[in-house]
Structure 1
């Protein structure tokens, strides 16, 4: 006894649209999370800096690095000193640095899933 079964596959899962939508979602969620990170870092700096000039805050931005969205200070030369990771921080001087990057990272980790969840619906529609 021979049984022949013919199947036809169609739709977003089979034609690549679902995979493309998932990849686009990941990129957009990362970018949205990074934009929120910029806002958080700037807000932390507003609370921490004693004599802000505005220059450092203006350099906080998102960049694509190796395909990922990251928050950076654009390589401002005194950025590591402000963050407390420079060679001229304590014990060399009394200034231990500000915790703006650490605080922003903690807040962003707590908010990241909610941010991604808000971005998701527009990409789910692409997979229907």
Structure 2
């Protein structure tokens, strides 16, 4: 089930038609199939909302190890993906965690700038897949 299909099942504007369709195509087991689909849809939407919500910066996003070479020197860091951050100043921008320290989109440590410490973070939405 896609997130859009899940939304159709729980949206008051479309839920009755979507559930009736499931019941119709599943015959005698239609009510059970509709209940199962509604449960799955609800769980998908709840999981998505919780994932995409703001998180406390004390619990940073998952980080991964990156290695690179520059001017003949090998470097290594533990870096998270880029996320939205909200700083003490109330400003929101992109940022990431590198070796346990929050950085903002200009590349500086968040705590060193006038925005202040990062208080909250939220993941970026993934771009939609383009059908060719």
Alignment TM-score, normalising by the size of structure 1:
0.27
Q: Relative contact order (alpha carbons < 8 A, sep ≥ 6): 1 or 2 greater?
A: 1
More strand by share: 2
More helix by share: 1
